[in-house]
Amino acid sequence: MTMTYILRVWMPDRPGALGQVASRVGAVGGDVVGIDILERGAGRAIDELVVELPADGLVDLLLGEMKQVDGVDVESIAPAADSLRDARLDALETAAILVGASTQSRALEELCVHSVRTVGAVWAAVIELETTTVIAHQGEAPAVPCLVAYVQGSQSSAKVAGGDGGPDDVIWAPLPASGLALVLGRDGAPFHARERRQAAALARIVDTRFAN
């Protein structure tokens, strides 16, 4: 039975590097059926590959093949969802839901739900910065003081939506017109540039929609 996995791989940002990775997937009988660049910089890139393997039990063999490629490191590998989404269509549908929300409170609830799914977070919370109140949430977020301290620390360092220096498995995005912040997190797995931009874009849609 064919098994589908999401493979995140750090590799040198040079011509041919992706081809070397794909050849290692092919060496275990697998096929790369999708690719998305999550981040590039300092001569390195991290790509998210959708990989089909011909049978269960080949993950360790695949990881062994990856170790043979110079400069390549596997960040994570996980089974794909039963039904892979079209990321571009999903982004449009999410934007339509957020814009179409009848009230701000409903939009913030939808923001939490859809940012978790779109960005791949475990939890999300929208907090009011002045009163440190949680306005909406999805999943089990940390205690409010921790969220506020993270956002305030990021602000003091001029970091928006997860800059350098803080925990890399937490990001935030401002809703400045509303005095709110969207905070997202997951356990141990770092967020990357594309995911930070996605969080910022979703927050901006809601903030613009209900700006006075």
> Mean pLDDT, to the nearest integer, of 29-51?
90
Across 143-203, the runs of DSSP E, i.e. the strands, are 170-175, 180-185
- Per residue in 143-159, pLDDT tens? 888 888 888 887 665 44
CB 140 within 8 A of CB 194: no
d(CA 52, CA 101): 38
d(CA 71, CA 65): 13
**CA neighbor of 183 nearest in space, from 130, 131, 119:** 119
**CA neighbor of 3 nearest in space, from 22, 29, 27:** 29
- Per residue in 16-28, pLDDT tens? 999 999 999 999 9
d(CA 205, CA 195): 16
Q: Please report, rounded to a whole number, the percentage of residues in the chain having pLDDT higher than 70.
A: 91
Q: Which residue has the higher pLDDT, 2 or 199?
A: 199
Catalogue all structural domains in the chain, each as residue range(s) with its CATH number: 3-79 (3.30.70.260), 87-209 (3.30.450.30)
